[in-house]
Structure 1
């Protein structure tokens, strides 16, 4: 349990980096950031595949098809929605909407996977969900107050960012549940090889998407040149760092956690990503979080600690 929790924490620290990229590279369109990140992930996976070549040979056609589905929805579609949301609504609000994932995944997977993982009793699970929900509400309230105080704020753009963040939540509710299904059904397989397989499956999708984006912007003729956009060196550096740390290493750590923990509990530990992203966003702003935000973070942490105390109860087979 605790080893799985530490892997989830490491994944959260890595995944928090993906919230920084769209804010730092604010002059890049979200579609270029999404395909750029996963093109880097796929290219990084190529040499890593040599290390896992024996494990990768064990994968069948159905496994590669599952890896491609996971890559499309959990990688490209998710990050396209997230990057678009961040560029329209700033860092904290999309971060907090994504932060509802612990609650959403726990609710979705608790009943769905009860026979496999055991049922986390709702009566014992409810306090952690309430604490996490209250923490998210507090941080959102503080961010909305910050927005209202800004005379240049565009509420319509902010609302669109919130809607796009909800799309990201839908994509990443589906991904960890399906990913855990495969990992729990193949407990003898290497989580590292499965992370590499997803990178390899991502490569053709990202390469095609990047080529079409290049073609599209070539027709539109923006003020900057393709294929690397207005700031080539920062763009390439950020894509490589995010591709290695967030995409490959983060996925590896999450796979290790998913093999060890019930999906409903692992879903709640995605709160580590929210906390990391929030910390990185305020570092980028060079500001200290307000008291309400810190109180919300405290509630989030309390909710996670409570959740770790809940043990699944076996469901009898019928």
Structure 2
């Protein structure tokens, strides 16, 4: 339990970086950041594959197909839709939607375990209701706090009708993809022997690279045909050193190391508890944002953060072995 909790905390600290990097590269479109992040992840995975070669060669064709599905949905689709949703609808609403993931994932994971008849992995709804309610309450307090909302809206996009509606739809797609990913990923890991957390993270990076390269090339071609005047300066944009450095950072820390740690947590913890621990990503994103803006959290933000932590602790008590 302790090892799983620490692994989930480490994954959250790594994943929180992806929310502050767009602030540091505000002159880059979100989809370019998504492709850059996962191309860097794939290149790093090529270098790291040598250390996991013995485990990688034992993966079957079905395993590589599964890794491709996870890479496409959990990596490229998730981050592309999230970044685009924030650009189209402004930061507050998409961020709130992503912040509900601990609750959404825990509910979906528990539903899956109950339908599969897995008594060991499922818990009664009455036992899980309180921690989920506290986590959701903390997320709502943080994201609807006037000070936080005003600060986020000040840097958001203009909210006209069609753009805002499209942003909401993309936000729903981001929530759906990142709900599907950890549940499916945990199912694969639990069906196999321990010790595959790192090779499985590397395998996902290897299959992400060609997908990201094809996606970037396709988007560049489409942009050149439809909007050549506003075309992004491929491949590195207006600040190549900052862009390459930050993409390598999130590729290694957020994508590879974060996936490795999450794989470890998924193997050690019940799926509904692991779903709640996605909250660490939200907490890390808040911490990095406060550091970037150079301010302390407001009273409402601090209260929401406390509720998030209390909800996680309550969830740990629910799933802790007797």
* TM > 0.5: yes
1:70-85 aligned at under 5 Å gives the runs 70-85=70-85
1:58-87 deviation line (CA, Å, top 9, x unaligned): 100000000000000000000001112333
Query: Partner of 1:200 in structure 2?
Result: 206
CA RMSD of aligned residues (A): 2.5
Question: Within 2, Cα distance between the matches of 1:151 and 1:9?
Answer: 29
Give deviations 1:78-120, integer Å, cap 9, x for gaps.
0001112333455555333212111111111113124074222
Q: Distance in 1 between the 2:87 and 2:156 partners?
A: 15
Cα distance in 2, alignment partners of residues 207 and 152 from structure 1: 29
**Secondary structure of the structure 1 residue equivalent to 2:145:** helix
Out of 275, 283, 286, the position equivalent to 1:267 is 275
* DSSP 3-state at the match of 1:227: coil
Partner of 2:317: 309
1:14 is aligned to 14
Question: Relative to structure 1, is the Cα distance of residues 312 and 305 closer, same or farther in structure 2, using a 3 angstrom cutoff?
Answer: closer
Measure the CA separation in 2 of the matches of 1:151 and 1:58: 48
Q: What CA distance in whole angstroms lies between the structure 2 residues aligned with 1:37 and 1:200?
A: 13
Question: Could you report, residue by residue, the CA deviation over 1:271-309 in whole angstroms, capped at 9, with x for unpaired residues?
Answer: 000111122122222232221111111111100000000
- Counterpart contact for 2:236–2:243, Cα < 8 Å: yes
User: 1:145, CA displacement in angstroms?
Assistant: 5.0
Partner SS for 2:16: helix
- State how 1:81-100 maps to structure 2 within 5 Å: 81-88=81-88, 91=91, 93-100=93-100
Residue 131 of structure 1 pairs with residue 134 of structure 2: yes
TM (norm. structure 2) is 0.90
Alignment partner, residue 109 of structure 1: 109
Matched positions, count: 314
Corresponding residue for residue 121 of structure 2: 118
Contact 1:16/1:273, CA 8 A, preserved across alignment: yes
For residues 148 and 23 of structure 1, the distance between their equivalents in structure 2, rounded to whole angstroms, comes to 11
Summarize the alignment of residues 1-318 of structure 1 with structure 2, pairs less than 5 Å apart: 1-88=1-88, 91=91, 93-114=93-114, 115=118, 117-143=120-146, 146=150, 154-156=158-160, 161-219=167-225, 220-221=227-228, 222=230, 225-311=233-319
Please, what TM-score do these two structures have when normalized by structure 1?
Answer: 0.91
1:121 deviation in Å?
2.1
Contact kept? 1:19, 1:86, Cα under 8 Å: no
Offset of residue 140 of structure 1: 2.1
CA distance in 1, matches of 2:292, 2:89: 15
* 1:78 partner SS: helix
Name stretches of at least 5 consecutive residues in structure 1 with no aligned partner: 314-318
SS of 1:310's partner is helix
2: distance between equivalents of 1:142 and 1:99? 14
Q: Name structure 2 gaps, 5 residues minimum.
A: none
- The answer to whether the 8 A contact 2:12-2:282 is kept is yes
